[in-house]
Structure 1
């Protein structure tokens, strides 16, 4: 099938892109409003963008009535936010934070999660997350109803057991983030395997042995 995006309705473009570009990592983003109220919201239009400088990118849409969501409004005002990775231990709580609450509701508290002070930004860190990245806004781009936020990572927290003894590499048997597929379907990184770099394959002259996936 071929799809002409110039002719395709917006909902169909979203369906195709989000169904086939995946799994997409989930950013559970915390901000703080002008009254000091915590805000948390998940988003799956998210990824790491660069390591030098260390940049993350978020894609957020306005509400159906055209008004900005709390996360976007708070980021524009404060110029900072915290991105948390999500594992199975907090998957249900992450979904709860996605409810369209009034702006004065603390989604972290409502979801049963614990807020703790960040190091370099005012927005709180969620204690239960295996990984959190404190970010300052580098650039904000507006495309109609879509806001693209590029944030520079200023500080990163990783739960101790997620790293090896040297604090250098992730332990895949411990750190197993979830990601979004399509609609309400998610996947967990609990079936990881190794593919060697092509240079190593040239030395052995053997094709990689792929595992039997579940």
Structure 2
């Protein structure tokens, strides 16, 4: 099978594109509008982009009516957002918050989710989620696309605070991924969750894997560069 998007059709009953880049972590993003309304929505085009300092991004296509998503608008107008880890146990709530609703609707209430206060930003956290990043908005890159929904806002944020539930940690100080069971997006209407891991030591010799771990302190110490 071969196709060229927008030029040569794939001839399949379902478009395969999103199923080729999997699994994708879910950016379950909470924001607060200028009017004080809390918003919560999942984005399957989400990722961390660097670790020193830690930054993340999420991509938000337009609504079915061609408008910008509330998450994008709120993050830009208030300068803040929170990433909440989506887990298998929270899958139904994640799905409920994906519904396209009016800006004045509070998705926390809609999905029956309790809120937890953040420390450094205004948007609340999903209390039942085990891991959160409080973020300050850095920049939005708007990329034109095709059709009503094709245009996308790529929202970048700097992580200023991290919350990890005690129960989500192992005795040796690692996040217990199989216990947490992060939810990940596949294609179509399919999801998966991480219920097992394996270890594959790095072959990198220059930094001892500090960069792969994502530790600025260890990277600075091993490379002798010091912290900026």
Contact conserved, 1:29 with 1:40, CA < 8 A, in 2? yes
Match of 2:179 in 1: 174
> 2:154 matched to 1:156?
no
Match of 1:86 in 2: 86
Q: Deviations over 1:44-89 (max 9, x none)?
A: 0001110012110111011132211211111121111001111112
> Which whole-Å CA distance do the structure 1 matches of 2:3 and 2:138 have between them?
34
Q: Report how many residues are paired.
A: 196
TM-score where L is the length of structure 1: 0.85
Match of 1:207 in 2: none
Contact conserved, 1:109 with 1:115, CA < 8 A, in 2? no
Task: Sort the Cα spacing of 1:74 and 1:8 in 2 relative to 1 into closer, same or farther, 3 A.
Answer: farther
Match of 2:225 in 1: none
Contact conserved, 2:178 with 2:196, CA < 8 A, in 1? no
Q: Deviations over 1:137-158 (max 9, x none)?
A: 1111010111001110000111
Contact conserved, 1:19 with 1:183, CA < 8 A, in 2? yes
Contact conserved, 1:83 with 1:133, CA < 8 A, in 2? yes
Which aligned pairs between 1:138-153 and structure 2 lie closer than 5 A?
Answer: 138-144=138-144, 145-153=151-159
Alignment RMSD (CA, Å): 2.0
Match of 1:208 in 2: none
Which aligned pairs between 1:1-214 and structure 2 lie closer than 5 A?
Answer: 1-5=1-5, 7=7, 15-144=15-144, 145-165=151-171, 168-198=173-203
Cα displacement (A) at 1:16: 3.4
Secondary structure of the equivalent of 1:36?
coil
Cα displacement (A) at 1:6: 6.0
Runs of 4+ in 1 over 6 A off after TM superposition: none
TM-score where L is the length of structure 2: 0.80
Q: Deviations over 1:152-173 (max 9, x none)?
A: 000011111111235x311233
Structure 1 spans left out of the alignment, 5+ residues: 201-214
Secondary structure of the equivalent of 1:94?
helix
> Which whole-Å CA distance do the structure 2 matches of 1:100 and 1:194 have between them?
40
